[in-house]
Chain A
Amino acid sequence: NKTQSHSRGEYNVYSTFQSHEPEFDYLKSLEIEEKINKIRWLPQKNAAQFLLSTNDKTIKLWKISERDKRPEGYNLKEEDGRYRDPTTVTTLRVPVFRPMDLMVEASPRRIFANAHTYHINSISINSDYETYLSADDLRINLWHLEITDRSFNIVDIKPANMEELTEVITAAEFHPNSCSTFVYSSSKGTIRLCDMRASALCDRHSKLFEEPEDPSNRSFFSEIISSISDVKFSHSGRYMMTRDYLSVKIWDLNMENRPVETYQVHEYLRSKLCSLYENDCIFDKFECCWNGSDIVMTGSYNNFFRMFDRNTKRDITLEASRENNKPRTVLKPRKVCASGKRKKDEISVDSLDFNKKILHTAWHPKENIIAVATTNNLYIFQDKMN
């Protein structure tokens, strides 16, 4: 599994299970890693929870169910399961449910395999709750949750001649309300909105969202830092958010030529791009998430994560680390000193630890609780209780 919880504080591990195993593709002599790329929850319909998890090639549907009672008092069986001799049964009783220690079971329900040549980077569940999409570098496939032996290819950007390849798909998501609409982002910083009703293969977009480049910020690395690492719709579906290397952009679906808002996550890194390119940090893929339609959150380096309030235009930098925060204490805002004299409590850019990156963050769909993942730990923060 992808993350592990602390055992102290308010939260304990609920369940741990191995979703994928490493595989070996004998024909290509390639190892397929068991590393999970994405997890998506299905909307809950009954007592059990369902989620989709994917590695580079295979998506799996898992059912997670709880058992906290068990029947006792069978007529024909002993408590240990052995069958009783029927001649010894002289009375009848109704078995009763007795409480037991909570047992959480995870069982694989579907395995969706063999539909992706390239590495899967996204999965997204449709609002019809029956289908979902999976995207790799060059193709997007549509699946039905019940059917594992076939999928429909809905986007294919592979050129006939691979030497002409200049753009790859980096993320894809279904619209939260319109079940025929989805978007996908590219390594060139564009987002395409497609309508599955327009044609079977959505190679022609309905809308293309792209911001013209700011010539004053042009550098050798402009294209690399424009590559979008994550795209997320707001809960209402009116807006979508994209994350590129240095910023978070909010787009209004009705306006294609520029975002309505841009938030700088760590602009102080702009003058360090060559070093970040050299050590490959420039390729780090940060995710982003919404709280409703008002607040957005994303990660950065040095175990920092940032939140931006669209209404008040205020932003905050917080740190997820055990050394600097005791459980139940309020997080102290952090500040990075870009240049010049460093104030007390500020940290200078050169002291940032680029190995401590927060790539994954998540906001509870209903409450003000967030989950933030550092390299080895998962942090859960919530609004201060009064």
Chain B
Amino acid sequence: MLGRGLKRKLSDYEENMAGLSSAFDSSRSLPYPLKRQLVLNMCLTKLQTYKMLVEPNLHRSVLIANTVRQIQEEMRQESNQQPVNICPGIAPASHSYTGMESPGISLQLPSGISQQESHCCDLRSVEDPIENSLLIVSDDDMSSAISSILKDLDFVEDISPPTCLVPTGDDQPKFPENTGLKLEDDRQDLKGAECVFGSFEISNSTSYLKDLAIDDIFEDIDTSMYDSDFCCPPLMPPRSPSLATEEPLKTFPSCNSSSANNIQICRTDLSELDHIMEILVGS
């Protein structure tokens, strides 16, 4: 029941938005601040949706963020010209966002958006349906919403900035101008700027490893099993593919350590693995 209720609310919201956008497009009598608020809400909704995606579209995010900034700037300029006038009767339109809670945007009473508020008070009776579905968001929340989205994009996307470049000589201007891009003339430059090619050759995924200290990578791996004197040989690639499929255990090279203890532990572990393999393979 709860699920159905939620779903109905979301689709109501979508229908509402579609209706609002056609109202925006067709109506000439819709007051400017209301139109602006509608566009702002649509932008923030989209940004919020993108934030939930694994890989948001950078192009769209930037365009929408710019639109929000532009509206924000406009509203800021307007509020600087007008005295602040908070209308106590306004409650945040919390009902339209039940399905979409996000820490990035919090609902607050507007501060300094006086033009809007006086309009809201006046229009409440006339434009009630439209007004109720508009979300009033404060300045700071908008900025933080944009910032957090763009910052997230950086973290997710680009882990290999070309800042590991080695300058090819003294008195050189900052790296972009000079490093390694003169393959035609100077072989020595090539060697000196190997780091440049390093960052190009290696994918963004593996240069992740280059940027971190080795220890950091393994911090959260549980190595308690290996902390004792027992030294388990690393898994080596099987000597031949056929061996690997038939007898995986036999490809473990024998322990290099000569201690009897270790060999004992080796054997115990191997027999446990044996047992597991039997279960898996079913033989």
Contacts and interface: CB of A to CB of B under 8 A. Distances in A.
Interface of A: 25-30, 113-115, 117-119, 137-138, 141, 149-154, 156, 158, 162-163, 165-168, 170, 187, 199-201, 203, 220-221, 223-224, 227, 271-275, 277-279, 283
A278 B42 contact: yes
Given A30-B54, A117-B204, A137-B59, A220 B39 contact: yes
A250 to B, nearest CB: 24
Contact of A30 (B22, B55, B150): B55
A165 B17 CA distance: 28
Given A151-B200, A199-B177, A117 B54 contact: no
26 contacts: A26-B205, A114-B204, A138-B58, A153-B181, A162-B150, A162-B154, A163-B147, A170-B59, A187-B62, A187-B63, A200-B176, A200-B182, A201-B177, A220-B39, A220-B71, A223-B63, A224-B67, A227-B63, A273-B25, A274-B21, A274-B24, A275-B24, A277-B39, A277-B42, A278-B17, A279-B18
A227 B63 CA distance: 8
Contacts of B180: 152, 200
Contact of A152 (B36, B157, B181): B181
Interface stretch (B131-139, B158-166, B226-234, B243-251): B158-166
Interface in B108-163: 146-147, 150-151, 153-154, 156-162
Interface in B45-77: 54-55, 58-60, 62-67, 69-71
A354 B186 CA distance: 54
Q: For chain B, what secondary structure do more than half of its interface residues adopt (helix, strand, loop), or is it mixed?
A: helix
Given A117-B160, A119-B58, A274-B21, A220 B67 contact: yes
B197 interface: yes
Contacts of B157: 117-118
A28 B18 CA distance: 35
A278 B24 CA distance: 11
Given A200-B181, A277-B21, A283-B63, 18 more contacts: A25-B205, A26-B205, A117-B159, A118-B157, A141-B200, A150-B200, A152-B181, A153-B181, A154-B181, A163-B150, A167-B62, A187-B63, A200-B176, A221-B39, A274-B25, A277-B42, A283-B59, A283-B60
Contacts of A152: 180-181, 183, 200
Given A200-B181, A200-B182, A277-B42, A221 B58 contact: no
Contacts of B58: 118-119, 137-138, 168
B215 interface: no
Interface residues of B, number: 56
B271 interface: no
Contacts of B66: 166, 223
Contacts of A149: 201
Given A114-B204, A137-B59, A165-B62, A223 B151 contact: no
Contacts of A165: 62, 150
A58 to B, nearest CB: 10
B150 to A, nearest CB: 5
A271 B23 CA distance: 11
Contacts of A187: 59, 62-63
A166 B25 contact: no
B258 to A, nearest CB: 38
B84 interface: no
Interface string B202-214: 1111101000000
Contact of B18 (A138, A168, A271, A275): A275
A343 B112 CA distance: 51
Nearest to A166: B66
A162 B147 CA distance: 8
A138 B204 CA distance: 14
B262 interface: no
A118 B156 contact: no
B106 interface: no
B94 interface: no
B178 interface: yes
Contacts of A158: 158, 161
B90 to A, nearest CB: 23
A219 to B, nearest CB: 9
Nearest to B69: A166
A274 B200 contact: no
A153 B59 contact: no
Contacts of B158: 117-118, 158
